[in-house]
Structure 1
């Protein structure tokens, strides 16, 4: 409100009532005058003209009896000066539904901090604005949903969750796009013949790290790159090469090499097909320090046999793991899986009650290294033990357990194994072509 005279144009004096209100507001340490916002009625919208360009001391409308509010552009001169616009100025003259900060007289608080009208903040992944003393958020689905996390940790579930700092503030769409990355196999791949496995006596618990100490490679972190297709393929290849050679070849095949070079009908950090990844390693190999086929650096390339599919019977999968080493499993990741920290994961379905935009799913491939039975909940729960590719600070030091024997999240529907072929020196393609040409002359 213009509580002091402008350099030109007379003003009505303050009434005792408004003076009293002003003194009360000062007691609450409100450093900015709140103006006329929020007072009902039509002011600028019933004038002729409705609004005035620049500064016009006559561009007014009566309000609160003997007072005036303004419809000129000077009244909207910023949060530290403009406080005498009419209540409908922003809707009539600016075409805005919202009002600038500190003009409405309303405040919002968050974690003990006071915010003014129009202030914008980020709450998790949501953009929020203070309007009429209430936070209005855009309701974007976040990767970490605190209400779901609280219900899981306080409810009777077989697993617990955690608020991960690397996921906080990210959208659910980000998680599906950048933290998974295995594309659903094409029909021809889905129809792969399953190998016949002669089952054997199986223990209640098994961990490949205990049977082959030092030969099962650490958990990796794919970062913000939808590349589980390359991480799972190369880590399983590394494990199986080490196992089949009794540790003589204990190399770490490079996910980055496969990601950079295996580009034919692949999508890089936006996802890839497992069959094409295995084709590349079978034909061209992978390893550390390798360039793509068009490069000129020699290095040791390790190759694998063609992959084979294992049936969805849990006994067949268990027999394959205990006999030949870790296998590759593709499964559906739901929105609550990102917050997993311990226990035996089972999809909670909790987000479904909030609406479809709070649910999402995508395919992910991981390395399965064992199995067991969990008795901590009072009833036995069979599980698979798998290595994820989100770093060691996620889950159980990078690993997770998931319900076994029920094809939960399609975990047992597409399981792959392969044999290691050992090392072979890669020759430069240019040199190979040169030798072929030389043979013509000799």
Structure 2
């Protein structure tokens, strides 16, 4: 028997397990002949009078009917009899069994997902398998119910939570990993105790508003999805103090720190904060225009382009290397920390971060008691302090004014306030500061 292309649809159907209940296309829903152009139907035999269906072809000409088998086991399109012959309702015997009808799809939270379709609900990708959604089971960073609970809880009455577009749809694990980045120092650094004049310290202080430091304090950075808070807080503290010392604002290269002071995977694993301060002391950092920040937006650590302080390949004018003296640690005494900020400039602080800080919107943050394993170390910049007046005659809440590195669209324009004097999230336990070197010593040790 000679096989022609007219026999191929029947052969494919005979071999297809999903259609083993019958040979033919009857009962398959859809418009085939009805939408065929230039004409819906063809008279006599015409091999090109066909329409694609399920990976093969069905036909809309008179030859498609198998006159020896009136049950519809032929290669006619499903709607041929209705469109071309005027048979509106095919016999029940020709209907596909109900069990073989295509699945209707899935629905969740008012979203309809077709069979085998996918949809992302918050941080979890889901696939519709028949009428059941099969989803990843990652714990999401933000949940609407959690935000609501925080805002209704009396234990969180001093601050408000909110949703953030850039954090919604992210997993808790990746967010804690990539939006923080600090590691404990590699050696013990003993704190120094100052002798502050408590009578000279005001109830409120903001380094940005000190007349002598006007326009010298760094703004808010966004580290992106790179575990580099260790670099952002360090550089901001250094350039603040460099600007105060030289009476001129500076913008230095964050990309150099991330690419050169850290390890090859510092964007995903973070770094020890003492290493970055050692890099400031030994190598120094070039201006930002020489090497703009990229790692936080590419998601990976860029190659070091200032190897061993070699600036010869940088395309910028005066690629000076700005260095520091060794970093020093301030005691945990509240007055010591305030005195250091007020007299020398902002300081670096290390703290534990849980998912709640990501949803902070305003007010004085109080650290939650999180389950072990759901926190990461993070470094920030303390720029001042103050007191928040409470309702119903309650005593005011003391706070630190803190610059974060999550962008200006987070928190209070990139800042947050956290309760002072109670070592919230460990923020008062490890305070570092530094003194810049003058230009004449930038290549020395």
Alignment of 1:128-139 (within 5 A): 128-130=126-128, 135=133, 137-139=135-137
- Pick closer, same or farther for the CA change 1:377–1:389 going to 2, 3 Å: farther
Q: Would the aligned equivalents of 1:332 and 1:409 in 2 still touch at CA under 8 Å?
A: yes
- Pick closer, same or farther for the CA change 1:264–1:138 going to 2, 3 Å: closer
Q: Please give the alpha-carbon distance, in whole angstroms, between the structure 2 residues aligned to 1:416 and 1:426.
A: 21
Q: Please give the alpha-carbon distance, in whole angstroms, between the structure 1 residues aligned to 2:262 and 2:130.
A: 53
Q: Would the aligned equivalents of 1:108 and 1:117 in 2 still touch at CA under 8 Å?
A: no
1:125-176 deviation line (CA, Å, top 9, x unaligned): 1123456766554331112122111111233322112211111111112211
Q: Would the aligned equivalents of 2:284 and 2:324 in 1 still touch at CA under 8 Å?
A: yes
Matched length? 338
The residue that corresponds to 2:67 in the other structure is: none
Match of 1:367, SS state, is strand
The counterpart of 1:198, out of the listed 195, 198, 217, is 195
- Pick closer, same or farther for the CA change 1:269–1:115 going to 2, 3 Å: closer
The offset of 1:367, in angstroms, is: 0.7
The offset of 1:276, in angstroms, is: 1.0
Q: Would the aligned equivalents of 2:406 and 2:414 in 1 still touch at CA under 8 Å?
A: yes
The residue that corresponds to 1:435 in the other structure is: none
Alignment of 1:321-360 (within 5 A): 321-349=341-369, 360=374
- Pick closer, same or farther for the CA change 1:295–1:216 going to 2, 3 Å: closer
The residue that corresponds to 1:432 in the other structure is: none
Q: Would the aligned equivalents of 2:105 and 2:112 in 1 still touch at CA under 8 Å?
A: no
Q: Would the aligned equivalents of 1:301 and 1:424 in 2 still touch at CA under 8 Å?
A: no
- Pick closer, same or farther for the CA change 1:310–1:54 going to 2, 3 Å: same
Q: Mark the runs of 5 or more structure 1 residues left unpaired by the alignment.
A: 1-6, 9-51, 61-76, 90-101, 428-442
The residue that corresponds to 1:69 in the other structure is: none
The residue that corresponds to 2:375 in the other structure is: 361
The offset of 1:323, in angstroms, is: 1.4
The residue that corresponds to 2:185 in the other structure is: 185
Q: Mark the runs of 5 or more structure 2 residues left unpaired by the alignment.
A: 1-8, 23-53, 56-77, 79-94, 292-304
TM-score (norm 2): 0.68
Q: Please give the alpha-carbon distance, in whole angstroms, between the structure 2 residues aligned to 1:55 and 1:304.
A: 74
Q: Would the aligned equivalents of 1:141 and 1:171 in 2 still touch at CA under 8 Å?
A: yes
Q: Please give the alpha-carbon distance, in whole angstroms, between the structure 1 residues aligned to 2:150 and 2:272.
A: 33
The offset of 1:103, in angstroms, is: 3.3
1:354-386 deviation line (CA, Å, top 9, x unaligned): xx8xx7211111110011111245432211111
1:295-321 deviation line (CA, Å, top 9, x unaligned): 415522221110000111111111111
| Superposition RMSD in Å | 3.3
Q: Please give the alpha-carbon distance, in whole angstroms, between the structure 2 residues aligned to 1:197 and 1:84.
A: 86
The residue that corresponds to 1:153 in the other structure is: 151
Q: Please give the alpha-carbon distance, in whole angstroms, between the structure 2 residues aligned to 1:384 and 1:134.
A: 50
Moved more, 277-286 or 122-131: 122-131
Q: Please give the alpha-carbon distance, in whole angstroms, between the structure 1 residues aligned to 2:17 and 2:275.
A: 69
The residue that corresponds to 2:37 in the other structure is: none
Alignment of 1:227-376 (within 5 A): 227-245=228-246, 247=247, 249-263=248-262, 267-268=266-267, 270-288=269-287, 289=290, 292=306, 293-296=309-312, 299-349=319-369, 360-376=374-390
- Pick closer, same or farther for the CA change 1:338–1:382 going to 2, 3 Å: same
Q: Would the aligned equivalents of 1:300 and 1:425 in 2 still touch at CA under 8 Å?
A: no
The residue that corresponds to 1:54 in the other structure is: 16
